[in-house]
Structure 1
Amino acid sequence: MFTGIVQTQATVAQLNDRVNFRQLTVKVAPEYLAQVTLGASIAINGCCLTVVAFTEDTVSFDIIDETLRLTNLSRLAVGDTVNFERSLKVGDEMGGHYVSGHIHGLGSIVKREQSADNLALWIEFPAQFQAYVLPKGFISVNGASLTVGQVESNRFSLHLIPETLRLTNLEQAKMVNLEFDQQTMTIVETVERVLANR
């Protein structure tokens, strides 16, 4: 479980590709790997991955076919930056919203609107998820817990403050991992099921 508060950016240091498999190694400042253990969960671009190896300043993960299909981790190249968040611990401050790290699909950044103090992004997403995207609702984008701005059909806007841009890779991103809010999904699907049975 994660908060959606990205802690830092890591850099893709190595990729080892086989059929329907990729081992990803990222380099990150050592303080973000303090007390890391094999089997620990870390969100990379919002995707919950399991630590399979680590050094003082690198950490490796195995990524298999379903994750490669659903996420932008299949598109990474050496030198790219990724959003990095360690898993939530009991007693941690909950600054974002509960994020599972289970990506529902990809979104495409189709428009950028830069103003003096913020950046607005418009993201197009798969139409089957329209019911779960609501103005002022939560969404996780590349692992960052964000508030939806406007919604137009299967597009929504985000308004990003400079601190979010500093900590995340959203300013340069093109395809982003999307995790829709699980509470919203549960409510919508329950209501739809009840209405369908009437």
Structure 2
Amino acid sequence: MFTGIIEAVGTVRSATYCQGDLRLHINSGQLDLSDVKLGDSIATNGICLTVVALPGDGYIADVSIETLEHSTLGTLASGALVNLEKALTPTTRLGGHLVSGHVDGVGGVTAIEPSARSTRYWIEAPLALARYIAHKGSITVDGVSLTVNSVEGTKFALNIVPHTQEMTTITSWQVGTKVNLEVDQIARYLERLLDPELKESQQSKQSKLTSSFLAEHGFLR
């Protein structure tokens, strides 16, 4: 679990395909790895990756075919910059929102507009994800916890303050840049709970042990 507050920007040292999936070697830059051990998780551009090796200058992680199909990791080349965040601990400040690191899909930057000292980025989400994106709601873009400032159909706007641009890879975004999207977990679970098919299934499985049933079979007088 993560917060979406980026701790450092790293650099891809190598991206090597091996038997269909990908092995990434990430130079972790200013990210402190002194408390990281094999098997720990590090969000890389918003994707929860498991550390399989610690070569000294960063970490190595394997990326499955499933992850490659639903994210931008497969497009990363040597020298690419990535947002990094270590998994949160019980004492971590939750400065962003709860982020799982399980990317839902890929969006694209469609417009970049100046907005006083901030910059407004418009991003188009896949149609299947648009229903989860709400005005003033939270969304994770390339691992960064951000507030949705406007929504127009499948497009949404983000106002990025200078500090966030300086501390992340957002400053490198251009029109056409592809980004990883993770929608708010509450929205996903709420939809599941309200799914009419699921409710019907649950109702059909409800216990038939009623007071009438008990009386009919001699358990109540």
Task: Tell me how far apart the structure 2 counterparts of residues 6 and 192 of structure 1 sit (CA, whole Å).
Answer: 34
1:43/1:101 contact within 8 Å kept: yes
Partner of residue 177 from structure 1, selected from 180, 189, 193:
180
Partner of 1:165: 165
Partner of 1:129: 129
Task: Tell me how far apart the structure 2 counterparts of residues 35 and 196 of structure 1 sit (CA, whole Å).
Answer: 45
Task: Tell me how far apart the structure 2 counterparts of residues 49 and 75 of structure 1 sit (CA, whole Å).
Answer: 16
Task: Tell me how far apart the structure 1 counterparts of residues 31 and 62 of structure 2 sit (CA, whole Å).
Answer: 22
- Tell me whether 168-177 or 184-193 shows the greater mean CA deviation: 184-193
2:46/2:83 contact within 8 Å kept: yes
Output the amino acid matched with 1:9: V
Task: Tell me how far apart the structure 1 counterparts of residues 144 and 191 of structure 2 sit (CA, whole Å).
Answer: 23
2:142/2:179 contact within 8 Å kept: yes
TM-score computed with the length of structure 2 as normaliser = 0.85
2:43 paired with 1:43: yes
Where has structure 1 moved over 2 Å in runs of 4 or more? 188-197
Task: Tell me how far apart the structure 1 counterparts of residues 43 and 130 of structure 2 sit (CA, whole Å).
Answer: 25
What is the SS of the residue equivalent to 2:196?
helix
Task: Please report how far the alpha carbon of residue 150 of structure 1 lies from its aligned counterpart in structure 2 after TM superposition.
Answer: 0.6
Unaligned runs of 5+ in 2: 201-221
2:109/2:124 contact within 8 Å kept: yes
CA RMSD of aligned residues (A): 1.8
Which fold has the larger relative contact order, with Cα–Cα distance below 8 Å and residues 6 or more apart in sequence? 1
The alignment-based identity, stated in percent, is: 39
Task: Please report how far the alpha carbon of residue 114 of structure 1 lies from its aligned counterpart in structure 2 after TM superposition.
Answer: 2.0
- Tell me whether 56-65 or 185-194 shows the greater mean CA deviation: 185-194
1:142/1:176 contact within 8 Å kept: yes
**Count of residue pairs brought into register by the alignment:** 198
1:2/1:85 contact within 8 Å kept: yes
